[in-house]
Amino acid sequence: MSKNEKQFVEEITPMEVDFPQWYTDVILKTDLVDYAPVKGFMVVKPYGYAIWENIQQFLDKRFKETGHKNCYFPLLIPESLLTKEAEHIEGFAPEVAWVTHGGNKKLEERLCIRPTSETIICNMYAKWLKSYRDLPYLYNQWCSVVRWEKSTRPFLRTCEFLWQEGHTLHETSEEAQDETIQMLNIYQELCEELLAMPVISGQKSESEKFAGGERTYTIEALMHDGKALQSGTSHFLGQHFTKAFDITFADRNSKLAHPYHTSWGVTTRLIGGIIMTHGDNRGLILPPRVAPTQVVIIPIAAKKGNVMEKVDELFESLKAKGIRVEVDDRDNYSTGWKLNEWEMKGVPVRIEIGPKDIENNQATIFRRDLLEKNAMSLENIEEGIVDLLENIHDTMLEKAREHREKHTYQVDNMDEFKRAITETPGFVKAMWCGDAECEAKVKEDTGATIRCMPFEQENLGDKCFCCGKEAKHMVYIAKAY
């Protein structure tokens, strides 16, 4: 290890020593994010924001392909609207920010900054909807929301975060249910196809569902440290809000009916998920499809012979292939420093080209995920790089799957459960009776929560691991972010 390399590595706390500190070191040193002057808020820096833009692009395309349109609802919600749905206000009131003054005048009614937009959107839908012919309403918005969290961590839990929130209305319960699942499936695709982050999809328990909803579906990922990350949720809201907000339409028999309602969202939290699924002690490892820079070219002995000529040629040909490529031709940093910096920033592929490489009509290729260095012929190198990026994606997804399988434990009773959850952090699979009491006991005793009742139910036995009564669901349990 060179002196430069040492310096870099020493700047990042090893994850085995202190995982939270590793996370903080990585996000700050790689310029993804910074702390804002107000506690709990974050600044998403260009490198972090570019990841978010790639997530947005993937999702926005899929939303539009499935018939959704974007719109924009106001930031501020009158208190009287927020409080219309009883369970909803109970869930959100403790964590909203209140605007009391506008333009130096005290407001007649307090306004909250949206923590989520069901209430204001339902207020508008009630005004707009007339007939079954207008349905479905398939709308989404990209925005930020504010929730006054006490304990925050950039990306994972912040007082303000960026997200998208879809809000749809349907004629029938079945259509709304189908929409709820369709959008959850799109989130799963996003995680697996773009972020190389495997997820388990399933339904939340009653106590973990959305405040004011009927059923919440979730995708859950497992992080390096064995903690789960809820990575996206899709809610079947039934008629809870449409009744509370008196949204009606003339149905096919010309009778007034309440539509069925869904909402679904993912947030900048996903960026935290990428970091904690793939990163290592050298820093980030970004999945190629979401990486802002997929390939960086480092000229070696740039002033010699035709090095820069070859570098520029390669840059142009990779760009023409649609690859997000950069050349690092800074002359005020040593090559060693640059190599380490790009490793830390998690760029999937590094290409080094120097006089010797050119002599041999090759380039030196470094793949960040496996830390492997190989020569690649300059002949048809573009195809080689495209294939390599795909291979890196598949390898990273597979590696994350293996990690999850290796850290998933099956238990039959509370003793086994407590041992597993404390000694071997990860997912615990168990059979559950479905009672909130058992769920509460698990949480109280261990801090772990039922993450979901997965769609892929396995029969692990017929008794609840907690109370021994008849089991109804197979569940995944974990400590979670």
Select 75 or 467, whichever has its Cβ closest to a second copy. Answer: 75
CA 88 to the chain's CA centroid: 24
CB of 67 to a second copy, least distance (A): 11
Minimum Å gap between C-beta 341 and a second copy is 14
Identify which of residues 3 and 101 has a Cβ nearer to a second copy in the complex: 101
CA–CA distance, 275 with 290 (Å, rounded to integer): 12
Residue 253 CA to residue 265 CA, distance in Å, equals: 34
Q: Say how far apart CA 221 and CA 210 lie, in whole Å.
A: 19
Contact 343, 282 (CB under 8 A): yes
Long-range CB contacts for residues 325-334, cutoff 8 Å, separation at least 24: 325/293, 325/294, 325/295, 325/296, 325/297, 326/293, 326/295, 326/296, 326/297, 327/296, 327/297, 327/299, 328/296, 328/297, 328/298, 328/299, 329/299, 329/302, 331/302, 334/4
- At its nearest, how many Å lie between a second copy and the CB of residue 28? 11
Helices 3-11, 335-344: crossing angle, 10 deg rounding: 30
Instruction: Give the start-end residues of each E strand in 171-250.
Output: 200-203, 215-222, 228-238, 249-250
Give dist(CA 308, CA 358) in Å, integer. 11
CA distances from 277 to 132, 225, 274, 359, 392 (A): 44, 9, 5, 40, 14
* Distance of closest approach, residue 399 Cβ to a second copy, in angstroms: 30
Closer of 44 and 363 to a second copy (Cβ) = 44
Q: How far is the CB of 155 from a second copy (least distance, A)?
A: 12
Please, what is the minimum distance in Å from the beta carbon of residue 318 to a second copy?
18
- What's phi and psi for 284, nearest 5 deg? -75, 150
Query: Judged by CB, which is closer to a second copy: 40, or 425?
Result: 40
Sign of CA dihedral 99, 105, 106, 110: negative
Q: Element (H or E) spanning 165, and its range?
A: strand 160-170
Residue 82 C-beta: closest distance to a second copy, Å: 11
Output the smallest distance, CB 206 to a second copy, in A: 25
Closest CA to 285 of 340, 348, 231: 348
Q: Which is nearer to a second copy, 42 or 311 (CB)?
A: 42
Residue 114 beta carbon to a second copy: minimum distance, rounded to whole angstroms: 11
**Which H, E and C letters describe 104-146, residue by residue?**
CEEEEEEEEECCCCHHHHHHHHHHHCCEHHHCCEEEEEEEEEE
Which candidate, 55, 447, 457, 469, places its Cα nearest to that of 286? Answer: 55
> In the complex with a second copy, which residue's Cβ is closer, 94 or 447?
94
82 vs 438 by CB, closer to a second copy: 82
Q: Which residues bind a second copy (CB under 8 A)?
A: 34, 36-38, 41-46, 48-50, 52-53, 69-78, 81, 93-104, 111, 113, 120, 123-124, 127-128, 133, 139, 143-144, 146, 148, 150, 159-160, 162, 332
Which CB, 86 or 436, lies closer to a second copy?
A: 86
Output 74 or 468, the one with its CB closest to a second copy.
74
- Least distance in angstroms from the C-beta of 148 to a second copy: 3
Q: Which residue, chain included where needed, has tokens 């290729």?
A: 365
Based on CB atoms, which residue is closest to a second copy, 101 or 303?
101
Q: How far is the CB of 14 from a second copy (least distance, A)?
A: 27
| Token pair for 6 | 């040492």
Nearer to a second copy, 60 or 193 (CB): 60
